[in-house]
Amino acid sequence: MVIHVQGVGKKFPDGKGERWVIDDVSFKIEPHQATVIRGPSGVGKTTLLKLIAGLIRPDKGEITVHLKDSSVPTSLNLLKAGELLRFRRDHVGFVYQFFNLVPTLTVQENVLLPLALTKREHLRERALDRLQQLGLSALLNAFPAQLSGGEQQRAAIARAVAHEPQFLFADEPTGNLDGGNSAEVFKLLWDEHERLGTNLVVATHSDDVSAYVARTIQLT
């Protein structure tokens, strides 16, 4: 449950040449820690989250994660494509700013999708209870398009944690929500982090999150 980022860099094609968006970033996130990544727009917050979630690979440096039930740390750099995919599927929950739900599935089906993919059907009852606690019980059979922005983000959190992953990542999860909804979303993320004992990493501009997190990584 430890994330160790050592000298990581990522470059993207930029016009004719290439540009290092992230260059030589290092940090370590301890078990059960809640962390916020901050920085001005375009600095590479999303890119960093994607790197540690195994969605993209670094161009230099190494990212290692230490999973709960394994004795040795795993280097994400060394995983094959399929293994990285399984790491992401089994151990990561991800909340984006928008479009977190499959539009052709109902709220309930969306939440059950990670369980089907990870074959963790035994978590079904808990996942459905969580939906109730999040005040979505009336919307179980609604399709995402019928939900408000706040409801969508709550459902997204329920989906992200349904399979009880060890890492919970959120990229501007409150970017398009008003103050009240925004604070509520952070609280929910925090609650789930507490209850499941996951690592929580949030990238955001918002200050609402400060009340909860222990540690800030500032990108410049």
Partner 1 sequence: MIALLVNLVLALFAITVVHVTNHTLVHEFAEGQPQSAYHYIVPFTDNHESSYFTFRERWRAGDLPEIVGVVPVIEGNLEIAGRAIPLIGIDLISDLHASFDLGDTQPQTATQLVTQDSVVAFGNDLANTSFPNHIKVLELHSGEQSLLLADIATAQNLLGRMGEIDAAWLRNNHEPAWGWLEHVFPGITSGFGFTLPELSLADFDIKPMAVWQPTQAFAGSIAFNMGLLGLLAVLVSGFIVYESTVRSIERRTQEFNRLQTIGVSVLQIRSVLILEATALVLFSVLIAAILAFVFLQHSDLISKVPKATFLVATSKGLVLGLSTALIGVILAFTREVRKLAWIVLVFGVVLAVAMLCFGIWMTTTLVGAYLAVLALCVLHIVVLTPTIMRFLDALVSRIIPKSLISRINVRAMWQHLKQAKFAVVAFSLAIATAIGITLMVGSLRTDFFELLDARLPPGVQVREASSVDPAIIRQWAGVEEVREYFRGEGNLSIGKTDVIATSLDEFEARRYGYEYETDRVGVYVNEKIASQLQVQVGDELELKLPDLTPINLPIIHIFKSYGDVSRVVLLPKNQVPASLLVRDRVLLIVHPDSFADVERKLQETYPSATVLNHREIRERAVQIFNRTFALTYLIALIAVVVAVIGLFNAALAMQSAKSSEYRLLNTLGFSRLALFRQSFTQSLLLGVVCCSLSVPLGIGIAWLLCELVNPRAFHWTINLHVAPMTLGYPLLLGMSAAAVASVLPWFFISNNPK
Ligand X SMILES: Nc1ncnc2c1ncn2[C@@H]1O[C@H](COP(=O)(O)OP(=O)(O)OP(=O)(O)O)[C@@H](O)[C@H]1O
Q: Does 46 bind Mg ion (CB under 5 A)?
A: yes
The piece of 16-24, 45-53, 71-79, 142-150 that touches Mg ion (CB under 5 A) is 45-53
- For residues 112 and 104, the answer to whether their CB atoms sit within 8 Å is no
Q: Contacts with partner 1 in 45-64 (CB under 8 A)? A: 53, 55
Q: How far is the CB of 42 from Mg ion (least distance, A)?
A: 8
Residue 141, number of CB atoms within 10 A of its CB? 10
**Contact flag: residue 140 with partner 1 (CB under 8 A):** no
Interface with Mg ion by CB under 5 A: which range of 12-20, 42-50, 80-88, 141-149? 42-50
- Residue 38 β-bridge partners: 218
Residue 43 interacts with, from partner 1, ligand X, Mg ion, none (CB under 5-8 Å by kind) = ligand X
**Measured distance CA(121)–CA(166) in Å, rounded:** 17
In sequence order, the β-bridge partners of residue 65 are 3, 74
Q: Which of 182, 10, 155 is nearest to 95 (CA)?
A: 155
Q: Contact residues for ligand X (CB under 6 A)?
A: 12-13, 21, 39, 41-47
Q: CB of 7 within 8 A of CB of 62?
A: yes
Query: In this structure, are residues 171 and 96 in contact, taking their beta carbons and an 8 Å threshold?
Result: yes
The entry of Mg ion, partner 1, ligand X, none near residue 32 (CB within 5 to 8 angstroms by kind) is: none
For the window 86-115, what string marks contact with partner 1 as x by the rule CB under 8 A?
x-xxx-x-x-x-xxxxxxxx---x--xxx-
- Which residues would be at the binding site for Mg ion (CB under 5 A)? 46
